[in-house]
Amino acid sequence: MLEIFQYQFMQRALIAAVLVSVACGVVGSYVVIKRIVSLSGAISHAAFGGVGIGYFLGVNPVLAAIPFSIISAIAIGGVKQISNISEDTSIGILWSVGMAIGVIFINLTPGYAPDLFSYLFGSILTVNNTDLYIMFILDMIIIVTVYLFRREFLAVAFDEEFSKVVGLPALLVYMLLLALVALSVVVLIKVVGVILLIALFTIPAAISKQYTYNLKNLMILATILGIVLTTLGLILSYIFNLASGATIVMVLATAFAISYYLKG
């Protein structure tokens, strides 16, 4: 089975699996603890607007998705704070608007977008060296930021009201956390796509949460699980000639079902 990794595209895919698992393990733990899964889904779908703008401007869609995703994340978090619009309503609006922006800019772009499908549903087998460099840099930014603000993130994730009482700038910390979610979305786009990436965000962390309540251990376990399950999904997709993103998600879902059954 290991002979399939003699191909360069499989080697790049394996590296991508490790890099996305790091982002998912670290940021996904906060997403699960803070219970902002639906908000993360909105950010992921809004990121498609950045992909469309990237195509229109003739730049790397992944790079274009970075600022657009961050702006969308801050907008989603900000609407909740400064208006009477409920969070689920703002999520629904910005979720659909981001996708619509992407579709409009892609339609305005002359010619045909050949790898558009990969940004919607992922294609880890088509990841190139540039994508890997971007993933690595974003992973480093995420890790350094989480390390520097680990106490603030911990306070806001577990008890946002208490963090306000003790004088922490809870809103700024929350916005920074959403920005990290946005960066993680960009890391994941080429692997499972904007439609399916919420599974990688939540399932490894959700499984890990059944076995530990220590945040550091949760991140480590979620990262390891992400690497193992994503790699397994990658191998199965290659062997059975299936869509890589969907296969990875099904492996994650199966692992969660087995874990839930064993713990029950």
CATH code, domain carrying 130: 1.10.3470.10
The per-residue pLDDT for 30 is 94
In the DSSP assignment, the letter for residue 162 is: H
The per-residue pLDDT for 2 is 63
Per-residue model confidence as pLDDT tens for the chain (264 residues): 667 778 898 899 999 999 999 999 999 999 999 988 888 888 888 899 999 999 899 888 889 999 999 998 888 877 766 766 777 787 888 888 989 999 899 889 887 766 777 888 888 888 999 989 999 999 999 999 999 999 999 998 888 777 877 788 888 999 999 999 999 999 988 888 887 888 998 999 999 999 998 999 999 999 999 999 999 999 999 889 998 889 999 999 999 999 999 876
Domain span at residue 189 reads: 2-263
Tokens representing 74 are 């801050």
Contact 138, 187 (CB under 8 A): yes
pLDDT tens digit string along 29-48? 999 999 888 888 888 888 99
User: For the CA atoms of the chain, what is the radius of gyration?
Assistant: 18
The per-residue pLDDT for 93 is 84
Count CA within 13 A, CB hemisphere, residue 143.
15
The per-residue pLDDT for 91 is 81
Residue 30's alpha-carbon distances to 150, 152, 160, in angstroms, are 11, 12, 13
Q: How many domains does the chain have?
A: 1
Contact 179, 70 (CB under 8 A): yes
The per-residue pLDDT for 22 is 95
**Secondary structure in 3-state letters for the chain:** CHHHHHCHHHHHHHHHHHHHHHHHHHHHHHHHHHCCHHHHHHHHHHHHHHHHHHHHHCCCHHHHHHHHHHHHHHHHHHHHHHCCCCHHHHHHHHHHHHHHHHHHHHHHCCCCCCCHHHHHHCCHHHCCHHHHHHHHHHHHHHHHHHHHCHHHHHHHHHCHHHHHHCCCCHHHHHHHHHHHHHHHHHHHHHHHHHHHHHHHHHHHHHHHHCCCCCHHHHHHHHHHHHHHHHHHHHHHHHHCCCCHHHHHHHHHHHHHHHHHHHHC
